[in-house]
Structure formats: structure tokens, C-alpha cells
Amino acid sequence: AVDTGERKEGGGGISCVLQDGEVFEKAGVNVSVVSGLLSEEAARQMRSRGKSLKAKDGKLPFCAMGVSSVIHPKNPHVPTMHFNYRYFEIEEADGTKQWWFGGGTDLTPTYLNEEDAVHFHKTLKEACDKHDLKLYPKYKKWCDDYFYIKHRGERRGIGGIFFDDVDSPSKEEVFQFVKSCAKAVVPCYIPIVKRHCCDSFTPEEKLWQQLRRGRYVEFNLVYDRGTKFGLLTPGSRIESILMSLPLTARWEYMHTPPESSKEAEILEVLRNPKDWVH
């Protein structure tokens, strides 16, 4: 389904969603370019991260643009992947403009495959290293910290890179870096899909995937900043914001996998993130 949305407040976006495919249970891409006045809650959220936003008569004009995608495969041996890259600009009371870029790419496997994890992280590291060798370790740690499901004591997945509020050294240099990250999405993920999309799997493995998807939902609805911002923005398209949620998920009471099982192995990595590239 391809769906175009207009906002009466300004701008709009396109959502493309594939459902019940051969390889992907649900996959979507959102592209949005929106403008308008920042809602009080959204401004509060930004101030809480240290932004000093001086409103004019209580109004903060903003424009934001971004591309985001979430892919939930059918096969439990193919990981879920998410990426999002965005640009934000706010005009303050005195006419000065604050701008920043944010985004990231991360992987959420149902079962751990070390070779896949290394490939994914190495590809993202190469994209970062083209610009500055300090970026990958910094943004890898930021990703592990950000995608943390506090009430479960585990990460949403095996990470990748994540950053926000990046506004230096210059707009052009940050834009080039973000473009490198976006170009790394296909090579970091598609080889993994091709390697596993025809793997055989058992009903038990499918069940474990459903339970992990439940965790994905918990993170997105409770902690994800993009989801929160979207839900707080007047005139936003709820379907596009919740596109990241899987088609199906499960919550079983007190489910604990047996020790030294493949299920316990992934949990260990989600509780204690690993360095995949050294």
C-alpha cells in the first residue's frame, strides 16, 4: 500500500507498506517533510534534552524532514531492521535558526548469528570511519544506551549506530556523514536477508520470534522518542507513526527460556552488549 498524507499544519509525507509478503511479514518506509508550530509537549521534550528554545508569543516554527523504515521478516532467522535519518530546524523568537541531524540504523535478531552481527556492525563502522574514526564507537554506545527497555533490563536488539542533535562541524559535513550512513543500509542488511530467508524453522522458533516482537512493541510505545514526538504533533498520521509495529506479537506470562538454549544466548547479548568489530 502506498499512502500520501497532507497536514493542514504544513507539509506531509508518503508511507509505503508491504504486508504478508513472501519474505517480509511487514515492511514499511515513511518519507515526511513537515512544518508548522511545535506543540508545547514537543518543545518540552526537546528542552529536556538541553535545547534552549526561545519561543515568540509561545510559538516555535519548525520544519522537519526524514526517512524511516522498519522491516519485520517472516523467518525467525532473518533479523528485524530499522533505520531512520532526519533533519530538524527551529526558528527562535529573535529569528535565529537552530538545526540538527539525527538518526541511526539498528538490528533486532530473534536468534544470534555472530557472522551477521559482525557484518552489520562492520558495514556501519566503515560508513562512519570515512568521516571520523571517533564516530562509530561513540554512536554504537549511544545506540546500545538508547534502545534499552528499562523495565526488562535488556536492549531491543544488538544495536548499530544512533545519534541525535548533531550540529557540528558544519551543516554540509554532517549531511555528507548522514548520507554515508543511509547508503550503508542496503549493504549492511540485505546480504543477511538473502543468507537466511530460506532457512527452515520450527513452530517453537516462530513462537520465540513473536515474544521478541512483543519486546519491540514495548520499546516503541514506551520509550521511542520518534513515536512520542509523532503522537504529540498535531495533525500527524497515526498509521504512519505506528507503522513500525509488527503485524503480530505475543506476551506470555513469566516466559523464561531454558539455560544454555539458543533463546538464552540472545538474551545474554541483549543484557550485556558486545563489541562486534574488534
> Can you give the pLDDT at residue 9?
66
CB 246 within 8 A of CB 22: no
Whole-angstrom distance, CA of residue 233 vs CA of residue 64: 12
> Can you give the pLDDT at residue 45?
78
At 88, is the secondary structure helix, strand, or coil? strand
**Average pLDDT of every residue of the chain:** 93
Q: What is the CA radius of gyration of the chain?
A: 19
Query: Kindly report the CA angle at 274 between 269 and 277, in degrees rounded to 5?
Result: 140
CB 197 within 8 A of CB 73: yes
> Can you give the pLDDT at residue 225?
86
pLDDT digits (tens, 9 = 90+) for 2-43: 777 766 667 778 999 999 999 999 999 999 998 888 877 777
> Can you give the pLDDT at residue 3?
74
> Can you give the pLDDT at residue 116?
98
Exposure b/e, 183-221, CB count within 10 A at least 16 = b: ebbeebbeebbeebeeeebeeebeebbbbbbbbbebbbe
Between 240 and 184, residue with greater pLDDT: 184
Residue 11's nearest CA partner among 61, 60, 63, 86 is 63
pLDDT bracket for residue 270 (50, 70, 90): very high
Fold assignment, 2-271:
oxygen-dependent coproporphyrinogen oxidase (3.40.1500)
**pTM, rounded to two decimals:** 0.93
The stretches of the chain forming alpha helices (DSSP H) are: 40-47, 114-129, 135-146, 171-183, 185-196, 203-222, 225-232, 238-241, 262-271
pLDDT bracket for residue 60 (50, 70, 90): confident
Left, alpha or beta for 41 (phi > 0: left; psi -120 to 50: alpha)?
A: alpha
**Which range has the worst mean pLDDT, 51-60, 81-90, 235-244?**
51-60
| 50 pLDDT above the threshold of 90 | no
Whole-angstrom distance, CA of residue 136 vs CA of residue 85: 16
pLDDT digits (tens, 9 = 90+) for 226-255: 888 788 877 778 888 899 999 999 999 999
| 53 pLDDT above the threshold of 90 | no
**What does the domain layout of the chain look like in residue ranges?**
2-271
DSSP bridge partners of 34: 11, 64
Between 96 and 183, residue with greater pLDDT: 183
pLDDT bracket for residue 48 (50, 70, 90): confident
pLDDT digits (tens, 9 = 90+) for 146-164: 999 999 999 999 999 999 9
Q: Please give the full DSSP string across 165-206, using - where no structure is assigned.
A: EE--S-HHHHHHHHHHHHHTHHHHHHHHHHHHTT----HHHH
Q: In this structure, which amino acid lies at residue 41?
A: E
Known catalytic residues? Answer: 82
Q: Once rounded to an integer, what is the mean pLDDT over residues 88-106?
A: 91
Most trustworthy range by pLDDT among 53-57, 58-62, 270-274:
270-274
CB proximity list for 173: less than 8 A, separation 6 or greater: 131
| 56 pLDDT above the threshold of 80 | no
Which grid cell sits at 119? 557484518
Whole-angstrom distance, CA of residue 32 vs CA of residue 140: 26
